[in-house]
Amino acid sequence: MDTQLLISGVIFGLSIGSIFFLLAIGLSLCFGLMRIISLDQLLYYSVGAYLTYTIHVATGNTWLGVLGGMVAAGLVSFGVERFVFLRIYERDITFTMITSFGILFAGIGAIKYIWGLIPRPVPVPIDAQLQILGTGVPLYRLVVIVISFLVYFGIWLFLNRTITGKAIRAGIEDVEHVEGLGINVYKLFTITFIIAGILSGLAGGLHSSLIMVDPQMGLEVLAFVFMVVIIGGLGSIKGTLASAFIVGQVVSLGSLVYAPLAQMAPFATMLLILLIKPTGLYGSKLLKR
């Protein structure tokens, strides 16, 4: 493998890992606080991508589309949380997972009805390339990587430097203790759910310029997002970032070595890590409410 191909593969892996992180962080936050597996985050990912496409067609501005997709994803997630999850938070985790899966499929049906079945292209907003060791690297992919790090640090600051964020952190550790302090945990649930939806919409908006926007795009990344959350450790923000880049690199470099490895290698990596550390890289044991 020559140097140029390796550099291109690493950058591709980092950029796809960044998308996985933005998607998986929503699942990780929702599980950490509410103890639900929110597969409907993949719907907000698709909503973000389709709104990016729609706004770009109307205005010619992809970045405005990404912003609009984030807002739309946040609004849809707020509606789902208010009308569905608020009523089932106390139910078993399996029940909430099946419910979220149903929401995802219903949302895919709505997307097909509104936008049709034909894949839609979204132009890359930055055409320039940056030379790294003599290899031309798309600047847009580097921007995606930078955005993912900014999001990570933004979440870290929110959770560690704000009163609401500290309450969410405390709720992740022991939600009953937080309730005992007189804090409205359901308000924290709503805030967390909206943040997760917005980040999923951001993932869809950024990814829309790297792939064709398709009604099934959420289902296509489902397995990878699950692997990221499991490898990193359920509820761990740091673990989600690390595992997202690991999976991204395994997919990218694996495909350069042997194309089927792009699908097989992440599963092998997950199994290997779980054999060594069953709770994931930074995970802790599941706490019962």
What's the confidence (pLDDT) of residue 144? Answer: 96
- pLDDT for 134 equals 78
**Per-residue confidence (pLDDT) for residue 244, from 0 to 100:** 93
Reduce the DSSP state of residue 233 to 3 states and report it: coil
Residue 27 located in a structural domain: yes
Q: Mean pLDDT, 10 residues at a time, over the chain (289 residues)? A: 81 93 90 85 96 95 96 96 90 90 95 94 90 85 95 92 84 73 83 94 95 93 89 83 92 80 82 85 58
Pure H helices in the chain: 3-34, 41-59, 62-83, 93-115, 139-161, 163-173, 175-180, 185-207, 217-220, 222-232, 237-257, 261-276
Phi, psi (deg, nearest 5) at residue 137: -115, 130
Supply the pLDDT for residue 289: 43
29 part of a folded domain: yes
Let me know if residue 257 belongs to a domain.
no
In angstroms, rounded to a whole number, what is the distance separating the alpha carbons of residues 281 and 158? 23
User: Is 14 a member of any domain?
Assistant: no
Count Cα neighbours of 35 within 13 Å in the Cβ-side half-sphere: 20
Residue 47 lies in a domain: yes
Torsion angle of C-alpha atoms 74, 33, 161, 238, degrees rounded to 10: -90
**What whole-number distance in Å separates Cα of residue 250 and Cα of residue 245?**
8
Model pTM score: 0.92
Structural domain total, the chain: 1
In a domain, 112, yes or no: yes
State residue 264's pLDDT score: 82
**Beta bridge mates, 213:** 120
Residue 28 lies in a domain: yes
Q: Which domain holds residue 41?
A: 19-218
**Predicted pLDDT at 234:** 72
Residue 5 lies inside a defined structural domain of this protein: no
